Structure 1
């Protein structure tokens, strides 16, 4: 079985939990409140940097 890849950096996941931290308040875990989503238009958007394909 292959090791899980880190979603923030190009390395293996070490289960540090940094990917679960809120982008707006670094002292709390993300609770999917949606406040970080861009509201400057008629619809909400989330920027996508890359698409990872998981090989099984």
Structure 2
């Protein structure tokens, strides 16, 4: 989400990057709840997610 917002509000944004940034924000919004439920209900997935976040 952060990278999508940063790309959209950047002073270097353009007509090519704006739709990509908006799509990335849209995808996060559409999937964040499903992702949170998966992490909460699945211990292995929680472990994998935690490891990838700390890398």
- What TM bracket, shorter-length normalisation? under 0.3
Question: What TM-score results when the alignment is normalised by the length of structure 2?
Answer: 0.27
Structure having the higher helix fraction is 2
Question: What TM-score results when the alignment is normalised by the length of structure 1?
Answer: 0.27
